[in-house]
Chain A
Amino acid sequence: MEGRITTEMSAEEILGRLRNADGYYLCNNERDVSQSDFKNRLMPVTTLRVAPHREATGFFSVEVSGGASPHVDLMRKQVNPFERLRIARKAMPNTLLQAVCRGASMFGYRHYPENVIRFTVKEFAKYIDVWRVYDFLNHVPNMIPVFEEVQQAGRILMPSICFSTGKEHTDEYYVEKVKEILNVTGPDVIISIKNHSGLGTPKRLGQLVKAIRSSCPDVVLHYHGCNTDGNDIGRMIASVVAGVKICDVADHGLGAVYGQAPALTLIHNLEDYGKKAIGVDVKALIQASDVLRVERRIYEPFENLFRGHDPTVASYKLTGGAAGSTFEQADKGGFLDRMPEILEEMGKVQIELGNWWSVTPGSQILWTTAVNNVLYGRYERPSLDLRNLIMGRYGPLPFYDPQEWICQRVLEYQRSDGKKWHQVIAEEGGVVRPRDADLERERENLENEIGRPASDEDLALYLLYSFDTVSFLKFEARYGKTWLLPPEVWFRRGGFKVGERITFEDENGKPHYIEITSTRQEGPTVITSLLVDHAFHTLTVTLEGADACPPPA
C-alpha cells in the first residue's frame, strides 16, 4: 500500500515520512487491549494466528510488549518476553514492533538502578522498533536513561506526555513539557499524548494538539487513548483533524472496552473529514477481526466481570487497564458494595494528592489509598508507596503538594523516632536514585539458581523480576516452549478425552501431535498415556490437596 511504513526504513526515513504525511497512520495496540480487557492473557499463538492479516493491514506499528506484559508473560503465560518478540518479528517482518516503557520503572513497578535500565533497554531494543516512554509524574529526568539508550540503538523514540484534566492541565503546561522533552531528545522523535484514562472531550484534545503544533510545528504527534468512556473515537477524530499523525487503535474483533477504540470505526469517520489512513488495507483489517472474533471465545474467562463503558471515569480517572480489574479486586476482597464510595474517594484523593496522572505506578498508589481510606479511615493506613510519593522519591509533584494534615498522617504514620512530617521531608525527601547493581554478581546469582550459563536476555529479565524469572526459567527447562500449544489447550478446563489429538506447529513450521490414548486414576495418582509424535509415553502426576479428591459422582 502506498505510503506504508516498514521495518526496512531507517528511523530518519520514517520520521520524514510521518512529517510529510497527508493523512494518519494506525498503531494496533494489542498489548494494551490484552492488558486492559483480557488480563494480559492473549497468548503468542493468537498473535501468530492473526499476524498474517495484521502484517497485510499495513499498520505503522503493532504494540506487542511493555507495560505489565513482560511480567505476565513470565508469571501467567510461561513465555519468555524476548521469545514473544522474536515470534512477532518473524510473523510480521515488515511491521514495526512497539512497546510502552514506564521510564525509570521500565516494565515494572519501582524505579530501577540506572545501569539496569540501560542494560535492559539495550537488550529489548534488539527487537522493539518503537519505544513509547512515559513517567507518571511527567518528570523528564526519570526518562532520560531510556531516551538515550533507545536513540543510541537507532530505534524510534516516542516520549509521552501523560494527559489528564483539571484546572492545572493547561495547554501551556503540556506545551512546555513537550519543549522540555525536545530539549533533551532533539527533534527526531514522536511525541505521544498519553490519554491513559480516556479523559477529556474531543474538543479538549483537538485544542491541545493545535496548541502543541502551533508552538512546535515540526513535531510528529501520536495519540494513545483508552475507550473507557466510549468516546475515544471522538477524541481521535479531533486529534487527527488537528494534526496527530498516528493513533493507537484496536481490532474490532476483540471488541475491547477499556482498551483502544476500533480501527475501522475511526477510518470510517475520518473519511468524512478527508483524512486517509495511510498504508492501510481495510480488507486485511477486517480479516484480522474475523480471526479474532473466533479466538476471543478462548479468553472469555479473562474478560472483565463488569463490562460496559463507564463515563464516570472522568472523575475517578483510572487508567483503562485498571478500570475493570478494580471491580474484580473489590469483589475478591469482599468490598464490592463499597465501590461507589471508593471511586468517589479516588476522585477526592486525586485532587488532594496533587492531581497528577493516574497511571502505573501512580494509579496503584491512588487505588490503594482510596480503598484504605474507605475501609480504615482517611489516610489512616498509608502505604509505603504513598509515603515515598509524598517524600518526592519518584520526583517532584508537578502542580502542588498535599495539604499539611495529609502529609502529617502519612509521614508520621508508625514513625518511632518522633520526627515530624516536615523534618522527614527536609531530611529524607527528594529523589533517591537506586544504586547501580553489580551486574556480574547478579549474573552469578542467576546462574546458581538455574544451573546453567545465563544469557544477557536472561539477565535482563532477572534484573527486572528476579523471582519470577527464575521460576519461569525453571518451568521452561522442565516443560519446554509451552507457548507453542494452542491457547485452547493451555487454558483447558476439564482435562482431555481419550482419543483427543492435540496438533500444533513448532517455530519452524513442523507439525507435531500429542494424542491421549488412555487416562486412569489410582488414588491420588493420575496416569496418562500419550502418543507424542508417534512415540508412546506414559506419564504420572500425583495430585495434592483438593485436587487429589475425586470429583463427586
Chain B
Amino acid sequence: MEQKLMFDKILVANRSEIAVRIMRSARELGIKTVAIYEETDKDSYHITQGDEAICVGPGPRKDYLNIDSIIKVAKKAGAEAIHPGYGFLAENPDFSKACTDADLVFIGPPPDVIRNLGSKVIARRIAKESDIPVIPATETLLQGAEGDEEALAFAAEHDYPIMIKAVAGGGGRGIRQVDDEKALLAGIKQSRSEAQMSFGNDEVYLEKCVQRPQHVEVQIVADKYGNVVHLGTRNCSIQRRHQKLIEIAPAFLKKSLAAEICAAAVRAAKAAEYLSAGTVEFLVEPDGTFYFLEVNTRIQVEHTVSEMVTGIDLVREQLLIALGEPVGFSQDQVVERGCAIELRINAEDPKNEFFASPGVVKVYQAPGGHGVRLDGSIYQGYEIPRYYDSMLVKLTVYGFTWQEAVDRLARALDGFVIIGVKTTIPYFQQILQEPDFIQMKFDTSYIDTHPHLVDYLEEEREMEKIARLIAEINAHGYNPHVE
C-alpha cells in the first residue's frame, strides 16, 4: 500500500489541554481535527479548537472511555487516525487494536506493545533481558516456614528496609515497609491476611525498598524502522501521592549517569519494539544506582519540558511516525540546552488535602513573555466540571540556567490572575521560595518532608477586595463602613 503523505483529518479522543495541544500540532501540519465531548463537558475549550466537534454521549467519563462509540464517530466524521492523548483510552491495548481493526491509524504504539509494557512482569523481564537493573525482588513467597526462610534470606542479601507487596495488589493495599526481622515476619502474616481479604489471594513477595530516590524518566521516540532516539532526561521527583507536581528537564544527573540511563531507555524501547513517543521511568538512588520502573506508552503531561530544551515537537513527531515516516532527527541532532520546568496549575485546595475546587473561573489572566509556555484550556467564565481532572493550565518555563528558570517560573506565577476557584498557584509559590528546592535538594519524599509548604496566606488581589466595597456602596447607596 502506498504510504500516505499526510492525514486529512484525525479525531482527538481526549479533552481539555491535551486535546488542544494535539490540535495545535495537527493544524501546523494542515490536518483537520475532530473534537469529541461528553454532554457534561460541553463547555470545554477544546471543543472550540477542533474543526469539527461531536458529542459522544451524556457522560460523565464513560463516553470518553467508550471504544465502540468513539470508533463509530471517527468513521462517520471521515477521520483517518485517532490520537488518544493521555489518560482515558491512551494505554488501553483494546483501543489501539479496535482502531487498527477499523482501518484507523492509532497514533501511538501497537496493541501488543501497550499490553506487554502494561504488565509489570513482562516489562521487568524485557528490562532484565536488556541488561537494565530492576529493583531486586523475590518470587512469590512460599507459604509457612519456608516462606519465612526465603524472606530472611532476601533480607540478609539486600538489608532493611524491605517492602512487602501483594502479588495481586493495587491501590496501596497489602503493601508495607518493614525495618527489622521481627517486623518482617509479622508483616508477612498481616499482608497475607489483608491481601486475602482485599483480593481473594494471599500471595505476597518482597522488594528491596529504594529509599528517597529521584524519579528520573527518559523521553523516547521510535519509528517502525527500528530507530529509537531519546530526548534526554526529566526529573519528576516532586510528587504528591504518586502524582507528579513539578517536572524538570534535564534531570541534572552526572553526565555519565545520564548517558547510561538514556542508553538503557533506548535498549528497553528497542527490546519492546516500541513505536511512537513514550517514556521509560527509573528510580535513582543517591549513589547513582538506578532501577527500571516502568514504561508509559503515551504522550505524557510533562512532555513539554523535553520539547522546550530540545526544540522538538513531540506530537508532530507522533503524527509523522503514525504516517509511516522515520524519526525526523538522529540522536546526534538532539541537543539539550538550558532548563525547563513545568507545573500543573490545578483547581485544587492545597490547604485541604488538595481536594478539587470546582467552580466558575470568574477572572482569568495569564502571564506571557520570554520563555513562558502555557498549555491550558480555561477561559473567563468557564465552569470547571467536577467530573474530570482538575488541571486548569500547564505552565512550562524555559531558562538558560536552573536559577533563570526558577526566577522565570516565579515571575510567571505572579502573572496569573485566576479568580473563582482555589488553585495550586500559592503552593507552588511557596516551593519556589523554599531553600531545598532552590538548591535542587529534592527526591520523592520532598512533599512529605516539607509539610509547611501549605502554610501560606491566601491573598486576594488588592483591587478585587476594593471592588467588593464598590459593589457594597452601589448596593446600599452609601458606604456602610463610614458610620
Contacts and interface: CB of A to CB of B under 8 A. Distances in A.
B28 interface: no
Interface in A453-486: 475, 478-482, 484-485
B476 A530 contact: no
Contact of B380 (A516, A536, A540): A536
Interface in B43-70: none
B156 interface: no
Contacts of B477: 493-495, 547
A496 B473 contact: yes
A interface SS class: mixed
Contacts of A490: 479, 482
Given A494-B477, A495-B475, A526-B474, A538 B466 contact: no
A543 B462 contact: no
A76 B474 contact: no
Interface residues of A, number: 40
A284 B473 CA distance: 36
A506 interface: yes
Interface string A510-553: 00101010010000001010101111111111010001000000
Given A493-B477, A526-B471, A536-B363, 20 more contacts: A76-B483, A452-B457, A475-B481, A479-B468, A480-B466, A484-B466, A490-B482, A492-B479, A494-B477, A495-B475, A496-B474, A506-B462, A514-B463, A519-B474, A526-B475, A528-B471, A528-B475, A530-B470, A534-B365, A537-B467
A502 interface: yes
A532 B467 contact: yes
Contacts of A481: 462, 466
Nearest to B420: A537
A543 B473 CA distance: 11
Nearest to B483: A76
Nearest to A476: B465
Given A492-B478, A496-B474, A535 B469 contact: no
The size class of the interface chain B forms with chain A is: 20 to 34
B365 A535 contact: yes
A489 interface: yes
B39 interface: no
B258 interface: no
Contacts, number: 105
B466 A485 contact: yes
B456 to A, nearest CB: 11
26 contacts: A76-B482, A452-B457, A479-B466, A479-B468, A480-B460, A482-B466, A484-B462, A485-B470, A493-B477, A495-B474, A495-B475, A495-B476, A512-B463, A514-B463, A516-B474, A528-B470, A532-B463, A532-B467, A534-B365, A537-B362, A537-B419, A537-B464, A537-B467, A539-B467, A541-B471, A541-B474
Interface string B355-375: 000000011010000000000
A399 interface: no
Chain B CB within 10 Å, residue with most, of A519, A528, A534 = A528
Nearest to A551: B477
Contacts of A493: 477-478
A491 interface: yes
Contacts of B457: 452
B479 A491 contact: yes
A506 to B, nearest CB: 7
A78 interface: yes
B179 interface: no
B465 A478 contact: yes
B417 interface: yes
A495 B474 CA distance: 4
Contacts of B473: 489, 492, 495-496
B260 interface: no
Contacts of A491: 479, 482
Contacts of B467: 514, 530, 532, 537, 539
Contacts of A480: 460, 462-466, 469
B471 A535 contact: no
A526 B471 CA distance: 8
Closest 7 CB pairs of A and B: A480-B465, A526-B475, A541-B475, A539-B471, A528-B471, A535-B363, A495-B474
A264 to B, nearest CB: 32
A537 B466 contact: no
Given A492-B478, A493-B478, A541 B472 contact: yes
A409 B475 CA distance: 52
Contacts of A78: 481
B416 to A, nearest CB: 12
Contacts of A528: 470-471, 474-475
Nearest to A483: B466
A535 B481 CA distance: 25
Determine which residue in B466, B469, B470, B481 has the highest number of CB atoms from chain A within 10 A of its CB, and name it. Answer: B470
Contacts of B363: 532, 535-537
A414 to B, nearest CB: 33
Interface string A274-291: 000000000000000000
Contacts of B479: 490-492
Given A76-B483, A489-B470, A535-B417, A479 B478 contact: no
Nearest to B362: A537
Nearest to A494: B477
Contacts of B365: 534-535
Most chain A CB within a 10 A radius of its CB, from B363, B467, B479: B467
